[in-house]
Structure 1
Amino acid sequence: MFVENRLRHLVASGAAESTVLAPVPWFPGRTPPRAVVPAEERRHGLTVHHPRFLAPPGIGMYSNPLALHGAARRALRRLVAAGAGFDAIDAHYLYPDGVAAVWLGREFGLPVAITARGSDTSQLPHHAVPGRLIRGAIAGADALIAVSAALAEGLVALGAPAGKVTVLRNGVDLSLFRPVADRDAIRAELGLAGPVLLSVGLLIERKRHHLTIEALRELPGHTLLIAGEGPERAALLALAERLGVAGQLRLLGAQPHARLPELYGAADAMVLASSREGWANVLLESMACGTPVVASPAWGSREAVTAPEAGLVLDEATPAAIAAGIRRLLAAPPARAATRAYAERFGWDETTEGQLALFRRLLGWAP
């Protein structure tokens, strides 16, 4: 969603056009049919192509760059043969997408910019084959974008020249994410009373929802809503039962993006316990809705949360630290209007101008 939002705002500037190649991993019997993810679609005025690439279970980490490259290469050849012309490749995630993008750039004679976003810089480089290919993509890319200054430092540590890296943070859609008109009505509709906490993210290990659930033992009377779906759902429910906090937990499942402002509005605080985040968009979304945050010290958190009205960043992410941070924040919560005003500094305009400047520089075009 945040990749799409950045591109939407870039194209809305009127200074750039884009065609999207978003290859979809596929393996017989394990992935959705084309009726779920079509070969081509239109989203927000953008044409999005979804070529399939084979992703065998268990070895996808190693086979995906080659397979993704092959699918994208065939699709790009068809587009060029049909008369499409491109000036540059804008790739997201170093691996496997950025690796494939650099190979495409060499073949088609196009400059390549890759945006690094988190685990592609902090985790995957520790694996032998992905690490070697990631370092090759860093060397082969014409420009690198980091969504936070901390992530930029991670790129430099992987061998990127500092002058090759541009920091362009993610923004927030201030028209969608805004304070709700009647907060009490939404809380009543959801049957909420007392302090309400919200976490938003996939139910996967990296999001560490289990830490926030464990923190509920020290937060009697608090309700935790988790918006997201994933493989850890059963384990999280079992944990809550074992700890005796199941009555304080609601797993809401995957939620439409347009529904999130109501959930942020109903909450008194948004909790992010992730172990790794390049730039956590949920922090900005929550603050734009007037809801302060309690965030783990993941990459980007201290850059997004820099004032008391935004919330606070923990020194460590443990159940005790999360509970203490929540108690501290809710003991003297900032005015919701002040939290919203803080978030208004993080619209997309600055990021869009930064993108345009970078691509003009790559192409040797005057502004």
Structure 2
Amino acid sequence: MSKRPLKTLLFSSLYPSSVRPGHGIFVETRLRELLSSGEVETRVVAPVPWFPSTHPRWGDYARMAATPRRETRNGVEVLHPRYLLPPKVGMTMAPLSMALASVPAIRGLLAEGYDFDVIDAHYYYPDGVAAALLARWFGKPLTITARGTDLNLIPQYSLPRRMMQWAAAKAQASIGVCAALVDVLRGWGVADERLHVMRNGVDLQRFRPLPQQQMREELGLVGAPLLLSVGYLIERKGHHVAIDALAQLLPTHPQAQLLIIGEGIERANLLEQARRLGVQDHVRLTGALPNTELLRWYSAADVLILASSREGWANVLLEAMACGTPVVASDIWGTPEVVANDMAGRLVSDRSGEAFALAIVDLLRAGTDRAQVRAYAEGFSWQSTTEAQLALFGRLAGRDYA
């Protein structure tokens, strides 16, 4: 007689929806890899802040308001309860508000016969704190996955930090996508036996090398070296550093071009910076692109730049390398665990345009074997993370899935 699948409840506001398909795609990707094992069933509760209007003038708030209450994505049932996020006090109220709003959704799942074994929460604040409340109310074991800014930024606020420390003490297990995040939890006094590093993998089918010259022609790209910077247009992602680096490169590499993929509040500032530095003809902002289209741009590029000030485990690094493109990245948090040798790229300790330009020149002079870069990325499959999740969730549920 075969054992029944392990039943999990994934809880996180960082989960894609039909109106924001790229939001939190890294959480969905890990779940899809886990489900591909055939040993797990899941439901997703992905709370959304309540907003009164779907009018386009409200931008991202309108998209959140248009999120369906219940939908199916890639065969997974997803519930989107609404929680109140009051102005000014929203940051401290969010965990309780999110938890209370999710109770009816979870009760509904239980009434439908979905009695889950484990709560699998992602992002420590406010999601992990809310999940700790729900785990207590429903009497379920809990794991919380730390992903980056939840532990390398939010703890600077004293009340959220204390709430996260409480949640870490209540969770049966905490997962970090890199060792640096687990070190934060260890510093809070969380016992080693409850700490786990489960790195993100890369989808080696979605991200694969395509012919570089063909991609450049299809995308209408000219110039060399072709530099790429991908991510939300916010200061933390360092696109401004990439523009500074381009300005430093142009005297010796007059055909260099920089492509910036993403959308966000810094767009106007980045365009103005490029104009002020006289490099506007060498910079192209594409706006946001679907994740499924990125492999063409990665494959076309010579170098991916990631000049972030904070990262947990930057998926764009592995995505680029899986397409054969080396990287130049800030030497922070989990990034040294991703870029572990010179074949993969270069790490930069000084977050400045000059330092990044020097690293790019060093990488270009050394030359790139794109097949070797791809082979390096192949060492980051999802298999080990999936096996570790099965073992952990099974143990918490009182069953052996090792």
| Structure 1: runs of 5 or more not aligned | none
TM-score (norm 1): 0.97
1:3 and 2:27 equivalent? yes
User: Which residue of structure 1 lines up, in the alignment, with residue 214 of structure 2?
Assistant: 185
User: Which residue of structure 2 lines up, in the alignment, with residue 336 of structure 1?
Assistant: 370
User: Which residue of structure 1 lines up, in the alignment, with residue 97 of structure 2?
Assistant: 67
| Structure 2: runs of 5 or more not aligned | 1-24
User: Which residue of structure 2 lines up, in the alignment, with residue 32 of structure 1?
Assistant: 62
Cα distance in 1 between the residues matched to 2:221 and 2:143: 47
Match of 1:242 among 248, 252, 276: 276
User: Which residue of structure 1 lines up, in the alignment, with residue 40 of structure 2?
Assistant: 16
User: Which residue of structure 2 lines up, in the alignment, with residue 133 of structure 1?
Assistant: 163
Cα distance in 2 between the residues matched to 1:198 and 1:56: 38
Return the offset for 1:21.
Answer: 0.5
Instruction: Give secondary structure in 2 for the equivalent of 1:86.
Output: coil
Return the offset for 1:35.
Answer: 7.7
Give per-residue Cα distances to partners, 1:271-314, cap 9 Å, x unaligned. 01111111001110000000000010121111111122211111
User: Which residue of structure 1 lines up, in the alignment, with residue 196 of structure 2?
Assistant: 166
Cα distance in 2 between the residues matched to 1:162 and 1:243: 50
Cα distance in 2 between the residues matched to 1:211 and 1:17: 43
Residue pair 1:37, 1:50 contacting (<8 A) in 2 also:
yes
User: Which residue of structure 1 lines up, in the alignment, with residue 185 of structure 2?
Assistant: 155
Instruction: Give secondary structure in 1 for the equivalent of 2:221.
Output: coil
Q: Which amino acid aligns with 1:66?
A: L
Q: What's the C-alpha RMSD, in Å, of the aligned pairs?
A: 1.3
Residue pair 2:324, 2:372 contacting (<8 A) in 1 also:
yes
- How many residue pairs match? The answer is 366
Tell which deviates more after alignment, 26-35 or 37-46.
Answer: 26-35
Return the offset for 1:2.
Answer: 0.9
- Structure 1 stretches of 4+ with a deviation exceeding 6 A read none
TM-score (norm 2): 0.88
Instruction: Give secondary structure in 1 for the equivalent of 2:378.
Output: helix
Structure-to-structure mapping, 1:292-303, within 5 angstroms: 292-303=326-337
Residue pair 1:27, 1:56 contacting (<8 A) in 2 also:
no
Structure-to-structure mapping, 1:164-243, within 5 angstroms: 164-180=194-210, 182-189=211-218, 190-220=220-250, 221-243=255-277
Cα distance in 2 between the residues matched to 1:83 and 1:366: 23
Cα distance in 2 between the residues matched to 1:351 and 1:191: 37
1:114 and 2:148 equivalent? no
Instruction: Give secondary structure in 1 for the equivalent of 2:137.
Output: helix
1:282 and 2:316 equivalent? yes
User: Which residue of structure 2 lines up, in the alignment, with residue 291 of structure 1?
Assistant: 325
Cα distance in 1 between the residues matched to 2:276 and 2:352: 18
Return the offset for 1:100.
Answer: 0.5
% identical equivalent positions: 52
Instruction: Give secondary structure in 1 for the equivalent of 2:164.
Output: helix
Return the offset for 1:83.
Answer: 2.0
Give per-residue Cα distances to partners, 1:136-176, cap 9 Å, x unaligned. 11111110000111111111123322221100000000000
- Aligned pair in 2 of structure 1 residues 248, 48: CA closer, same or farther (>3 Å)? same
Residue pair 1:138, 1:159 contacting (<8 A) in 2 also:
no
Return the offset for 1:364.
Answer: 2.3
Give per-residue Cα distances to partners, 1:197-222, cap 9 Å, x unaligned. 11111011211211111111111131
Match of 2:306 among 247, 259, 272: 272
Return the offset for 1:361.
Answer: 1.8
